[in-house]
Structure 1
Amino acid sequence: MEPAKVEEYTDVTEESFITDIYPRRKPAVLKGVDIGPCISKWTVEYLCEYGGKNDVKIHVSATPQMDFISKNFVYRTLPFNEFVRRASEDIKKEFFLNEDEKYYLRALGDDPRKDIADIHTQFPVLACDINIPEYFTPDRFFSSVFRIGSAGVQLWTHYDVMDNLLVQVTGRKRVVLFSPEDVDKLYLKGDKSLVLDIDHPDEDKYPLFRQARRYECRLSPGDILFIPALWFHSVVSLDFGVAVNVFWRHLDLEIYDPRDTYGNRDPIPAARAQQIVDRAVKVLEELPQEYRDFYARCLAARLLDKTVNKAEDSS
C-alpha cells in the first residue's frame, strides 16, 4: 500500500490552524510560519557557545535504529557543548561505543522527577531565538522539548497522549505516521510498537503490520508538523538537526496524571481501564485454553460494541 502524503498548509495563522486544521485531527505540515532567527543562527558553533556547558543525559547507540523496548542504546552524560560537537560529527574523535556511534538528546527538566522540559528554563539564551506558535491558551501548555540527533538516527514508533507541534529548526527529517484506528496492527508494548524496522518488517512475526495505513512527510528547516494525540510516529533524522516539540493538554486537565513530567503517561481513565483488563486476563488464566480463548473473544467483542461501535453509531 502506497503511503498517503501528509497534507501541507502554507502561511498558517493561529485562526486558520484552530478553525481549519485542528478540528480534522489529522497530521499536517505547516509551512511559512515565522519561527524566528533560529533557522540561521543555530549552527553547531552557535549552539556550542550559547547552549551552555551544563550536563545533559543522552542516548548513545552503535546503530542508527534506536529501540526503546530492547534498549539497544546506553545512557551517557556530556556537557551540552561537547554533546553537540560529537553529534554533528559522522566519525567521532572521542566516543563511548564506536567511532560512528549515534547520539540523541531529548532534553529533560532540571529534576526529571518533578520538572517538565521547557526550553525557556533549560536553554534560556537559545529560547530567545525561536518563536514557537501558541495555538493554545497558556493554561494548556505542558512542555517544550529540545531535541538534537545525529544524522541517520531513527526513533522507535510510539504515540503521545497530548497534541504537539514538532518545529524543525535545522536539518531534515522523514516522519512516518499511523492512525490511532490502526492500533491493532502495530503490535504494541506500552506506548511503543514492537516493529522496529517499519520499512522492512518481519511479516512472519508481524503479519498485520502491512495493513496499517502509512502517512509520510519530509520536514525541512522551518517546517512544523502537527501531530495529534494518539497518532503513532517514527522519525528519522536525515541530517544532524535540531527541533523543538511543544506539547499541550487538550482534554480536561483532571484527566492527566499530575505526576507525569514526561507527558507520556496514559490518561487516568485509560490507565484504570488497562489495569482492569490485566486483572481480567489473570482471572481467565484459571480456565482451560479453549474457554480462555472463547471468553477473551467475548470480552473483546463486548468492548468494541460498547465503545467503538457505539461511538460510530452516535456520529
Structure 2
Amino acid sequence: MENPGEMKQISVVHGVDKETFNTEIYPKRWPVVLRGLDLGPCQTNWTVQYLCEAGGSQDVKVHVSPSAKMDFINKNYAYRTLPFDELVRRASKPRQEEYFFEPDELYYLRALGNDPRKDIADINTQFPSLAGDINIPDFVPQDKLFSSVLRLGSPGVQLWTHYDVMDNILLQVKGHKRAVLFSPQDATYLYLNGDKSTILDIDNPDLEKYPEFMKATPYECHLEPGDVLFIPALWFHNVQALEFSIAVNIFWKHLEAKQYDPKDTYGNKDPQAAARALQIMRRAVKCLEELPEEYRDFYGRRMVMEIENKTYMKDGKDGNT
C-alpha cells in the first residue's frame, strides 16, 4: 500500500526577536520552531521534585489512558482527579505502583480554569507559584492574549490531530516532543469530525478507509527543551511526548475579538461567522435529501462549485521559511 504524503520539515529559526517575528514570521501564517529564546528559570527549575513542591497538592483533572494514542472521538481514556504533585510523580515514571486501571497507564494534563464552564485557563491563576518561572516571549500581543495553559504528559502520550481557532505558541520546557502539522488547505483530506481528524494513527493510516489522506502533506518537527513552536490558527497538529513532558501553551486572538464566541472558555469554538455558515450548510444538505439521488448529486456539485469559486484561496503557497 502507498504511503501518505512525503513528510516535510518545519523550519527552525534561531534567536528571533520581536521585530523579526512580527515582520518576517507572523505575516506568513506558517509554523516555525523558534530556538534559543530565554524561557526563564523554568528551564532549569522544573525538576520533578521542584514541580511537586511548588505546584503543591491542588486537585487537577487528567486524562488517563492505557493507550499512548489518545482518541477524543472514541474516548479511549477516562477523566480522573489527582493531586498535582501525585500526577507529576506518576507521569514521570514508566510504571505505576498505584494506578486507576493498570500499571502501564499514561497521564495527560491540559490545565483548566477554576470553573471550566466559565473560567479560561491562566497559569498565573491556577499555578501562580510556577508562573513566575516563565518568560513569555515579548512578541505575544498582550492586548489579544486569551489563555495560558500548562500541559504535562507521560512519555509516549500522543494527542489526536486537531486545529485551534486562535494563534498559539507551545513553549516546550522539559522533555523532547514530536509535532506533525497539516495546512488548513488539507482539511478535506483529514476526515474531520468537528475540529478533529478521525485518523488516529497518522504514521500508519488505514488508507483503504482513509484514501484521501494520501493527498495531505505532513510537516514535522522535533522539539527540544527550550524550543517554541508557533502554530497559526487553523493549522492541524498532532503532538507526541517522547519523554516526560512539560509545556506551556499561549493562545491569542488573531481576529477581532467580536469574531469569537464570548462563551468559549477553551478557545476551540469556530468563529461565530464560520459557525453560522456551517449551520446553514448543514440545513442546505438536509434540504437536498428531499431530492432523488441524481438531483442531489447535481445540486450538491453546484454548491461545492460555488463555495470553491467564492471562498477558496487561488494560490496557496508554501510559506515555510
TM range (shorter): over 0.9
After TM superposition, the structure 1 = structure 2 runs for residues 247-258 of structure 1, keeping only pairs within 5 Å, are 247-258=251-262
Displacement after TM superposition at 1:2 (Å): 2.6
Displacement after TM superposition at 1:136 (Å): 3.4
**Distance across 2 between alignment mates of 1:137 and 1:224:** 16
| 1:10 maps to 2:29 | no
State the SS of the aligned residue for 1:208. helix
Does the C-alpha gap of structure 1 residues 31 and 311 become closer, same or farther in structure 2, counting only changes over 3 Å?
A: closer
- The alignment's TM-score, normalised by the length of structure 1, stands at 0.97
Match of 2:184 among 180, 185, 194: 180
Which residue does 1:105 correspond to in 2? 109
| 1:85 maps to 2:68 | no
Does the C-alpha gap of structure 1 residues 274 and 10 become closer, same or farther in structure 2, counting only changes over 3 Å?
A: same
State the SS of the aligned residue for 1:306. helix
% same residue: 62
Which residue does 1:142 correspond to in 2? 146
- The alignment's TM-score, normalised by the length of structure 2, stands at 0.95
**Distance across 2 between alignment mates of 1:146 and 1:227:** 16
Which residue does 1:70 correspond to in 2? 74
Q: Provide structure 2 residue ranges, at least 5 long, that are not aligned to the other structure.
A: 317-321
Which residue does 2:119 correspond to in 1? 115
State the SS of the aligned residue for 1:155. coil
| 1:303 maps to 2:316 | no
Displacement after TM superposition at 1:134 (Å): 3.1
Which residue does 1:272 correspond to in 2? 276
Which residue does 1:129 correspond to in 2? 133
Which residue does 2:58 correspond to in 1? 54
Which residue does 2:168 correspond to in 1? 164
**Distance across 1 between alignment mates of 2:18 and 2:226:** 16
Does the C-alpha gap of structure 1 residues 278 and 311 become closer, same or farther in structure 2, counting only changes over 3 Å?
A: farther
CA RMSD of aligned residues (A): 1.1
After TM superposition, the structure 1 = structure 2 runs for residues 19-34 of structure 1, keeping only pairs within 5 Å, are 19-34=23-38
Residues 57-116 of structure 1, C-alpha deviations (whole Å, 9 max, x = no match): 000001100000001100000111111111111000011111000100000000111110
| 1:95 maps to 2:94 | no
State the SS of the aligned residue for 2:116. coil
Q: Provide structure 1 residue ranges, at least 5 long, that are not aligned to the other structure.
A: none
Which residue does 2:47 correspond to in 1? 43
**Distance across 2 between alignment mates of 1:310 and 1:186:** 20
**Distance across 1 between alignment mates of 2:231 and 2:6:** 21
Displacement after TM superposition at 1:268 (Å): 0.2
**Distance across 2 between alignment mates of 1:64 and 1:287:** 45
